[in-house]
Amino acid sequence: MSVLKRFVKDTAVYGLATILPRLMSFVLIGLHTEKLETTGYAENTSFYIGAAFLNVLLTYGMETAFFRFFSKSENKERVYSTVLIALTISSCIAFVLLWLLKEPITEALELPVKYIGYLIGVTILDTLVVAPFAYLRAKGRALRFAGIKLINLAIYVLLNFFLLWAIPYFSLSFDWYNSDELLTYIFIANLIASAVTLLLILPDFFKTKLVFDKHLFSQLWNYGWPVLVAGMAFVINENLDKLLLGNMLDKDIMGAYSGCYKLAVFMTIFIQAFRLGAEPFFFNHARNKNAPITYATILKYFVIVGAGGLLLIVCFIDIFKELLIRDEQYWKALEIVPYILLGNLFLGIYHNLSVWYKLTDKTQYGMYFSILGAGLTIVLNIVLIPVIGFMASAYATVVAYGVMMLISYFYGQKYYHIPYNVSRISLYLVVATAGALVSFYFFRAHYYISALLIFIFTALIFYLEKKELKSILKRNK
């Protein structure tokens, strides 16, 4: 099996575990926006912003460090054992500390304190399974990884529909049920799904001899702490805009913005599936003499697919909004979608480019770039929200991720040269973005023109890439 074919296969399996949850989240977007007012959806958003911050903090870069050291270590089981023990012990300590700090945490998130137990429970359970899931990915056990993830999904989705839809629809009567606590039931569903996931993957805790190597942990920490800082900065880039909108404008705008932000989930699916397959792939093939050429090829086709997805979603945005967000009170923020999609595409390119500092053990650069992006996010939002409202957050997303992407590229070429086809990549980005904006602002719901724009983009790709595509397909037969 060729290197590229193996990469595509692994990414497809990981993508299944990512795409199905996201596809189900489309359905849940409709359910949640139908059952929750925009202010309630804002609290739901705050909860998961808190979870995102805590997940990065509690894993402190150990997942990425694990892949780096697992790929080059002769004693791979010791790497796994050390990371597993470290995350388990730190999670137990974090549980106590977070509970003691529950009031400051909920105040920072502007979240009712009654939800803090669910927030802590979900994040601790999700942290405990990080090492076993990373181990499955590193060992190429994509099917077991996907299977457990899909069970988690099924439990979460079914409980959401039972608690938010089935009980009131069929007028079921339970003493414990309160129709005013729908948001609580969403968090309970997540907590139960996370607990079952831990039980399913628990056997992998004992697949190896449990040994904690202090010297190895020191190396893991030195590699991973810049990833931690970068991760915190990334969460700021991804989520601070929503909190600032709620604080500087109101919860209604925050809820509408957060709901429309979910329409960019297609790009999020693509990026997450790519990262799940790419991170172990990049490390495992770093010693291959053709690795830089392979990395360049992967980025080009990543951009082609991502840019095509951006164009498709924006051209048919009114269909997607009707399918996914049926409550019109959310539509006031629909204009953010093209920019959030573009910003997330820049983020995906940045993740692809990040191979250079991960392979050269210069993870501090990822930290610097992420801090720069976070700084731009904070400044642009604080300065522009009072002037132009929620669109400031969308523009800030494009600028922050765009700057991170560009600076990573220029530094990367200095330390680890990869022959990216910059002219082709730029062309595809410009054509797709221009087509999307023309469609959104001048030809909304003119689907013949939308189809024409997509055809032009597809024809351009076929014309420029047909020789390489034929060559790749011929090698993979």
Choose among 432, 23, 437: nearest CA to 268. Answer: 23
Whole-number Å distance between alpha carbons of 363 and 110: 33
45 touches 242 (CB < 8 A): yes
CA distances from 128 to 15, 198, 466 (A): 22, 7, 46
pLDDT given at position 207: 77
Which residues of the chain register pLDDT less than 50? 1
pLDDT given at position 1: 46
Question: Exposed/middle/buried for 350, CB within 10 Å: 0-12, 13-18, 19+?
Answer: buried
Choose among 254, 193, 265: nearest CA to 25. Answer: 265
165 CB-near residues (< 8 Å, 6+ apart): 31, 35
pLDDT given at position 416: 87
Domain parsing of the chain, residue ranges = 3-475
Count of other CB atoms within 10 angstroms of residue 252: 18
pLDDT given at position 218: 94
pLDDT given at position 127: 96
Question: Exposed/middle/buried for 430, CB within 10 Å: 0-12, 13-18, 19+?
Answer: exposed
Read off the pLDDT of residues 50-105 as tens digits, 9 standing for 90 and up.
999 999 999 999 998 998 888 777 788 899 999 999 999 999 999 999 999 999 99
pLDDT given at position 277: 63
